[in-house]
Amino acid sequence: MKRANPILLLLPLLFLSACARPAADVTGPDVQTEAARLATIQLGQLADRLNQMEKDQVQNLLEELVPLQQARAQVGRWELFPQEEELVEQLNQLYEDFTQRYLEEPEEPLEEEELPVLAQYEIGADGTLIPDKSDKAEYRALWDKVNELLPEGSLKPFARFTIFTDGEAEILAYVVPADDNGVQWELAVDPEDAGDPVEFTETVYHEYAHYLTLNDKQVTYGAPKRYDCYGENDLVSNPDSYLNAFYQRFWKDYLDDRLADPESINFYLRHEDDFITSYAATSPSEDIAECFSYFVLYDRPTGTSVWEQKQNFFYDYPELVAFRDQARAKLGL
């Protein structure tokens, strides 16, 4: 879900559960090297600002954490061990303290609120809306407006179209599964925020990316978490899914830090150069959706920064390149 002024809403972040403590040795050059690598990645913008004592604090905690991560990888377990959770919390607290000390603190995000429904349409097999008792021409025009941005047939998996509002400059649109398995989907739009054509277009592609990455072919709902595949809430990404590939490439080394304090903006401040927008730092699922929107709408980046690599990630998938070409043709790009 994306706000016109983006804040965390769609797909809240998971909290990992605890189980038995593993046996692990905290010694050896390999552990030190891996801990140093993770420290550089997780500190982000802080890496060049800390004094040696502060860097040593991080390094020492990571040298305790790395063997536990390795032990968990050996047994194929997604959930953190209890001792890992404690260490991740300690690390995150250090990162938060350092961020407040060295980086500027922006405005806190708003809280989620319930969304009043104005009308709800079922979608016929031919893609037309079945009239709702609160039917209005302006609502149906929004459905047409969405269709104009997407390649032919893109909305076939959508069974419901909802009109809601939470006032101007709040949530513009969202998508959610309309069943327990992610086969059918619901799209919702706020007419109060649909007037800006640029914001509307970006949001449609962002929300459609959630469908592309979270449908039943890409993730499994209700499955137990596993170490080698990204998961959140009640879903686990499939090994060959877009989301898992994105997570493995861009998020694996600092996801635990993000999850340790999901509401904090400081994670973004530490890794600002990794993200296209601040909202993208919410989670892997929001990051990939933001990047997909930019992939469709903007020229291919030629640099090597992480955010550019993320935007270029989709060019590895011919079907997504074809989607981009068709969408851009409809936009006259």
Dihedral pair phi/psi, residue 85, rounded to 5°: -60, -45
User: Is the sign of the CA dihedral 52, 55, 61, 63 positive or negative?
Assistant: negative
Query: Does the pLDDT of residue 13 top 80, yes or no?
Result: no
Query: For the segment 99-132, what is each residue's pLDDT rounded down to a tens digit?
Result: 887 886 555 544 555 678 999 999 998 999 998 7
Query: Does the pLDDT of residue 313 top 70, yes or no?
Result: yes
3-state class (DSSP) for residue 73: helix
Dihedral pair phi/psi, residue 221, rounded to 5°: -85, 140
Which residues, 6+ apart, have CB-to-CB distance to 142 below 8 Å?
A: 163, 189, 191, 194
The whole-number average pLDDT for the span 268-296 is 97
Q: Are 173 and 189 in contact (CB under 8 A)?
A: yes
Query: Does the pLDDT of residue 7 top 90, yes or no?
Result: no
26 vs 118, residue with greater confidence: 118
Sequence spans of domains, the chain? 115-196, 219-331
Integer Cα distance of 187 and 208 in angstroms:
9
Q: Which of 290, 246, 244 is nearest to 268 (CA)?
A: 290
The whole-number average pLDDT for the span 7-22 is 36
Q: Are 285 and 248 in contact (CB under 8 A)?
A: no
User: Which single residue is written with the structure tokens 């047409």?
Assistant: 144
Query: For the segment 131-189, what is each residue's pLDDT rounded down to a tens digit?
Result: 878 888 999 999 999 999 999 999 999 999 999 998 777 889 999 999 999 999 999 99
Q: Where are the beta strands (DSSP E) in 131-270?
A: 158-164, 171-177, 185-189, 219-221, 231-232, 235-237
Query: For the segment 190-231, what is each residue's pLDDT rounded down to a tens digit?
Result: 999 998 999 999 999 999 999 999 999 999 999 988 899 999
Q: Which two tokens stand for residue 24?
A: 């692990």
Q: What is the pTM of this model?
A: 0.75
